[in-house]
């Protein structure tokens, strides 16, 4: 196994274990045993357990960097919001452990929160605030909207849908085949509300 394969194997195994039990719930011995390598290999590649956790977080949150692609289009604000909803659903589908890291770091932050997680989330919020402000200035959205409150409400709506999947699986179909219907429904709720 070459260096890249070994490094990727360690990250893959650590991603699952850290997602299940957090940084402090997994020992370096457990990580080395699960990967079939010596503890010294974890130290060599990552500087120890914390370095491995940092690498896992960087990999998990690297998908947040793609949010800027939404702003590079000439589309109107509503199309960009739909692109965001689509992006967030695809991001969680492609990164099944991401939500665990996201909620874990928000509720019980590690030393890496301010270095990795907060900037990633902050970038998404900045991009969305820019889209809302653009929509306000182009008379698509109401002038009295607070852009940050609006963004947090929208992000919360979509994130909670993903977060509650296990608890709501008997109430609603969460399969990928339903994603387009979900996107249409969320766009409708977000833009029209629920009043008649």
pLDDT of the residue at 66: 84
CATH topology of domain 60-192: Tetracycline Repressor; domain 2 (1.10.357)
pLDDT of the residue at 101: 96
Parse the chain into domains and list their residue ranges.
3-59, 60-192
Residues 114 and 121: their CA atoms lie apart, in Å, by: 10
Q: Which residues, at least 6 apart from 163, have a Cβ–Cβ distance to it below 8 Å? A: 99, 103
SS3 readout for 56-103: HHHHHHHHHHHHHHHHCCCCCHHHHHHHHHHHHHHHHHHCCCHHHHHH
Burial call 41-77: b when 16+ CB within 10 Å, e when fewer: bbeebbeebeebbbbbbebbbebbeebeebeeeeeeb
pLDDT of the residue at 72: 83
Task: Give the CATH H-level superfamily of domain 3-59.
Answer: Homeodomain-like (1.10.10.60)
What is the length of the chain?
Answer: 196
Q: pLDDT tens track of the chain, all 196 residues?
A: 688 889 999 999 999 999 999 999 999 999 999 999 999 999 999 999 999 999 999 999 998 888 888 888 889 999 999 999 999 999 999 999 999 999 999 999 999 999 999 999 999 999 999 999 999 999 999 999 999 999 999 999 999 999 999 899 999 999 999 999 999 999 999 999 889 8
User: Is 90 exposed, middle or buried (CB count within 10 Å of its CB: 0-12, 13-18, 19+)?
Assistant: middle
């Amino acid at each position: 196994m070459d260096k890249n394969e070994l490094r990727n194997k360690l990250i893959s195994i650590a991603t699952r274990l850290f997602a299940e039990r957090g940084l402090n719930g997994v020992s370096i011995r457990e990580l080395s045993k699960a990967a079939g390598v010596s503890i010294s290999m974890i130290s060599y590649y990552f500087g120890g357990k914390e370095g491995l956790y940092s690498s896992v977080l960087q990999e998990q949150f690297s998908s947040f960097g793609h949010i800027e692609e939404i702003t590079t289009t000439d589309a109107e604000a509503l199309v960009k919001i739909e692109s965001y909803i689509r992006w967030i659903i695809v991001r969680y589908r492609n990164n099944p452990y991401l939500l665990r890291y996201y909620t874990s770091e928000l509720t019980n932050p590690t030393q890496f929160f301010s270095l990795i997680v907060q900037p990633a989330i902050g970038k998404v919020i900045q991009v969305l605030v820019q889209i809302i402000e653009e929509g306000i200035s182009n008379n698509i959205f109401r002038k009295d909207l607070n852009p940050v409150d609006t963004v947090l409400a929208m992000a919360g709506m979509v994130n909670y849908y993903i977060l509650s999947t296990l608890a709501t699986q008997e109430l609603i179909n969460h399969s990928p085949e339903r994603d387009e219907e979900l996107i249409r429904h969320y766009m409708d709720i977000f833009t029209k509300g629920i009043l008649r």
